[in-house]
Amino acid sequence: MRAPLSLSIAVVASTIALAGCGDDLPPYTPAPDAGFADTGAVVDVPAAVDRGPPQLDSGCPASRTITVADVPSGFLAPSMVRFVRELDGDTSKFSFAIMGETTVRFLWVNTEESVSSTASENTAFGRETSAIVGRYLAAGTAFVVVRQSSTRDPAMPALDPYARTLGLVFVDGELFQQRLVREGLSAYYTDFGCAPEPIHSALLLAEAEARANHRGIWAPGHPTNYADVFARWITGGTRACRPNPFRNQSYCP
C-alpha cells in the first residue's frame, strides 16, 4: 500500500458553502502544477442512494452522506467528468471537458496494491478491491471530481509527485471515498493528515461502521496486519489527528 507521492456541472462558487478548515490541512506535498480551466455548464446532481442502516451498531452516530455542497475551502470548483477506467483501488482516469483524460488519486483513502511494479507489494485483496472499484464506477451515471487546490497557488490543482491530480470523487451524488471506507475497502488514510470537516467525521464514522461489521480489511483473519499499518499512519503532529482503534481509542466520544 504505497502512500501517494498530491450530465454537466460547474457551479458558481457562491452556491457552494466553501467553509471549513481545509486551508490548514494540506494532506500532500504537491509536485509542480499544471494550469487547467473549467467549463461553465450547470446541471442537477442526483441525490445519494440511501443504503439502509448498518447490520451492527458501531456505537457511534451514523456517518452522514457527504455531497458536493459539503466541500469545504481548499478545493477548486467542481468538474463534471466522464469515467474512463480504474487504475487501482484508489486511482482512476476521468475525462475532463478542457484537459481531457486525467489520472485522479482519491484523497484520504489508500487501498491495498494491485499494480505495483514491486510484485511483493501487490495483494489478492488489492486486486479484488481494484476490480470492485472498477465495477462500481462503471455502473455510475454522474461523476464529479473536486480537485484539491495547490498550496503554492490556490487557483491551481494540487498534484502528487507522480503528477496525479488529488481530488474528491462523487459518484451519483455520493462521496466515493466514503463508500470505500464504509465497505472496508480502505481505512481512512491519514498518513498526510486528516481531512477537513465535515469529511473527517464522515470518513471516521464510516470506518467505525466498517470495523463493527467486519467488512473488507476488518474481517477476522484478513492477511494484512492493519495494526502495523495504523502505527505507520498515525504518529505525531498532524498525523495524530484521528483515533487508533488498535490502541483502544474510541471513534466517538
Look at residue 238 and tell me whether its pLDDT is greater than 50. yes
- The CA distance from 50 to 21, in Å, is 28
CA distance 105 to 30: 12
Contacts of 247 (CB under 8 A, 6+ apart): none
The domains of the chain are located at 13-47+57-243
pLDDT of amino acid 40: 37
The predicted model scores a pTM of 0.80
pLDDT at 54: 58
**Is 108 within 8 Å of 27 (Cβ atoms)?**
yes
User: Mean pLDDT, to the nearest integer, of 59-70?
Assistant: 95
**Quick one: pLDDT at residue 239?**
83
Return the number of other C-beta atoms located less than 10 Å from residue 65's C-beta: 19
Q: What single-letter amino acid sits at 102?
A: T
C-alpha cell at 160: 502528487
Q: What is the CATH number of domain 13-47+57-243?
A: 2.40.50.90
Contact between 22 and 151 under an 8 Å Cβ cutoff? The reply is: no
Is residue 5 over pLDDT 70?
A: no
Per residue in 161-187, pLDDT (tens digit) is 999 999 999 999 999 999 999 999 999
Q: Which residue has the higher pLDDT, 11 or 151?
A: 151
**Furthest C-alpha separation in the chain:** 49
